[in-house]
Structure formats: C-alpha cells, structure tokens
C-alpha cells in the first residue's frame, strides 16, 4: 500500500532529530512519498551536524527544541503542531515508511487513539546487543501491571489521534518517552493496537544516540515511577509486605531470648524491629490514601481526553484552536 486516503484528515509526520544528517533526507523523502498529503516536520535538538539544513532541503518543515532529550522534543511538537492524525518516527532510517499508510488506516477505520509499529527485524543488526531481551523484559514488566495490549512498548514508530496527543502530559525527558506513551494509553484503557513493520539496522555512518545501560536504567526508573503513581496501592502494599517480613526476621531472635530468659538483651534490635513494623503500617496507609488521589487524577485525565473529539472514519469535528503551526501548510492555522 503506497498511499492511504485520509480524506479531510490533516496528517502530520513528526521526526525528532539529533545529529541525523546522514539519514534524514531519505526519511523525509520516504514519508513524503507514501503520505503525499501529509506535512512532514523535523524538530532539531541541538544537532552539531547539518541535520536541519538537509531536512529543509528535502522538503520538511523544520523547527527547533533547545532542551536536550527526545521527551522535550516530542512535548514541543505535540504542543506546536495542529493536526488530526500524528505519525511519530525516528530520523535514523531504521523504520519502514511503507507501513505508515496501514498504521493510519487502522487508526481511522477502527477509531483508535494509538497504533504502535510492531518491529519485525530485517537482518541481524537491527537490534543492538541486549536490546531485544531488554525490550521483551520491560514490555512484560509493564504488561503485568497495566495490561498486555502491546508487544513492543519501546517502538519509536507510532500513529496517534489528536485527542491522544493533546491530552498526553508528556513528562519524560529522553528515551523513556515511549514507556510513558504506552502506560498513558493502558492506564486510561484507550483503544490501541499493533501493526507489524520492518525494522532494519542503521545505515553506515549513522550512529545511535541510545546508551544501552544509561537509558535502560532511566526506562526502568520511569516504569517504577509510573507504577508508584499509577498503582500506588499495589506498590506500597509490596513495600509494606517486605517491611513486615524484615521486621519479623529482626524480632524473632528477640522473642526467642525473652521466652527462654524473660529478658530482652537485644533491646536496640527490638526498637529497630518496632520502627520497621510501624513504617510498614504507614506505607500501607499511604498506599490507600494515594490510591484515592490517583483515582481522582485518572478521572481528570480521562475528562481531558473526552473533552476532545474522537477520530471518526471520513471526517472529524474540528475544535476551535489557537493559532499555531498547521499540519498542511506549515503556516498559521486559521
């Protein structure tokens, strides 16, 4: 499928970039070819090469974001750009542009809010060492807590409805953005699906910005933060259970000594065990309180999401929006 009939829908292709001068021209050209009616945006994130100039020469609408990190760039793009359908893709030429029409068609026909490009590796060099296992592990970890409705949580190739984009809080700073996008959809039970797409290795001369251990650690921290904030009762119940177990282990020999001698020779240990048990109880109470707060926060997110019109096959109700970048012309949106 080379083209998709988007009708009255405004489609914007979002490409965040940092030092992608080697690949960005091909990426822009490929998406302009398969989505001829779409506006292609490249936001440069302090590149030290010619990324911005090459992207503009290839026909992209170029913007900038000075705060370093993919999360900052996407937050800016979501804020600046007005469209009905948003397609997010990396500028490294690892994703297959020909899958874009199928992703957008699925979004429109099934009235979805997010379609994730499910990566199917082409060749043996697409995934760096450990990345395949890391993706499966992190996807499984999120699935156990928030639900198993996607098989590729870390994919950077996604299509979104306007209501998803404009109600997404975008709090992450870097490559943990994909985790936040996935959890946001799962937490609010939004309609989503996966569409298979080819995933290839970077071309020669193109260097990855992803640091396996540093960014992996940041993603894990993001997951635990989202669990703590999105499922506080479960999080603090586990913490409380661990503290109860620790307190029991500490107090056991003290109880044995007392039963045998009638004395408490390990008084400091008894005090510590009591403090740990009290902390466990406070943790459990905190879980109940924060669970009520989280429910209120989730309801507000849901209301913000519902305040925007849904994506309907064939047409979309256009809300009144403030002047900003238009997805077809790149100029002020009337």
* Gap between the Cα atoms of 324 and 154, Å rounded: 30
**Which residue would you say has higher pLDDT here, 112 or 263?**
112
Read off the DSSP letter of residue 229.
H
What CATH number has the domain bearing residue 225?
3.90.550.10
Statement: residue 8 has pLDDT above 70: yes
Residue 333 pLDDT class (50, 70, 90 cuts): very low
Are 36 and 185 within one domain?
Answer: yes
Q: Which residue blocks in the chain are alpha helix, DSSP H? A: 24-34, 51-57, 70-80, 100-109, 131-146, 162-167, 177-187, 212-230, 232-261, 267-306
pLDDT at 143: 82
In a domain, 310, yes or no: no
pLDDT at 209: 60
Question: Tell me: the pLDDT tens digits for 223-251?
Answer: 888 888 888 998 999 999 999 999 999 99
Statement: residue 168 has pLDDT above 60: yes
Are 200 and 211 within one domain?
Answer: yes
In a domain, 103, yes or no: yes
Domain that holds residue 283: 232-305
- Residue written as tokens 């874009």? 100
Distance between first and last Cα of the chain: 32
CA-CA distances (angstroms) from residue 8 to 38, 143, 311, 319, 328? Answer: 11, 35, 11, 14, 11
Are 121 and 244 within one domain?
Answer: no
Question: Tell me: the pLDDT tens digits for 254-294?
Answer: 999 888 888 888 889 999 999 999 999 999 999 999 999 98
pLDDT at 128: 58
Are 225 and 236 within one domain?
Answer: no
Q: To the nearest 5 percent, what fractions of the chain are helix, strand and coil? A: 50, 15, 35
- CA 164 to chain centroid, in Å, comes to 12
């Amino acid at each position: 499928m080379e083209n998709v009939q988007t009708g009255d829908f405004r489609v914007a292709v979002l490409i965040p970039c940092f030092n992608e001068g080697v690949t960005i021209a091909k990426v822009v050209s490929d998406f302009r070819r398969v989505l001829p009616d779409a506006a292609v945006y490249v936001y440069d994130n302090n590149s030290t090469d010619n990324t911005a100039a090459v992207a503009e020469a290839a026909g992209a609408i170029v913007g900038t974001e000075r705060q370093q990190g993919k999360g900052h760039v996407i937050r800016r793009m979501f804020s600046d750009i007005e469209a009905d359908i948003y397609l997010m893709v990396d500028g490294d030429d690892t994703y297959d542009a020909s899958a874009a029409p199928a992703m957008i068609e699925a979004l429109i026909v099934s009235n979805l809010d997010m379609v994730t490009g499910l990566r199917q590796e082409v060749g043996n060099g697409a995934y760096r060492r450990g990345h395949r296992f890391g993706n499966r592990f992190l996807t499984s970890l999120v699935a156990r807590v928030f639900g198993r409705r996607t098989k590729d949580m870390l994919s950077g190739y996604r299509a979104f409805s306007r209501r998803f984009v404009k109600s997404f809080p975008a709090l992450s700073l870097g490559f943990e953005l994909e985790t936040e996008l996935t959890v946001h959809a799962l937490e609010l039970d939004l309609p989503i699906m996966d569409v298979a797409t080819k995933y290839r290795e970077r071309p020669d001369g193109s260097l990855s910005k992803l640091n396996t251990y540093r960014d992996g650690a940041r993603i894990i921290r993001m997951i635990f933060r989202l669990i703590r904030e999105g499922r506080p009762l479960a999080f603090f119940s586990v913490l409380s259970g661990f503290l109860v177990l620790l307190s029991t282990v500490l107090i056991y020999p003290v109880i044995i000594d007392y039963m045998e001698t009638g004395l408490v020779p390990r008084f400091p240990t008894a005090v510590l065990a009591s403090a740990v048990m009290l902390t466990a109880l406070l943790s459990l109470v905190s879980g109940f309180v924060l669970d009520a707060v989280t429910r209120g926060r989730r309801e507000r997110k849901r209301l913000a999401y519902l305040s925007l019109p849904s994506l309907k096959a064939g047409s979309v109700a256009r809300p009144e929006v403030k002047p900003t970048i238009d997805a077809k012309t790149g100029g002020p949106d009337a």
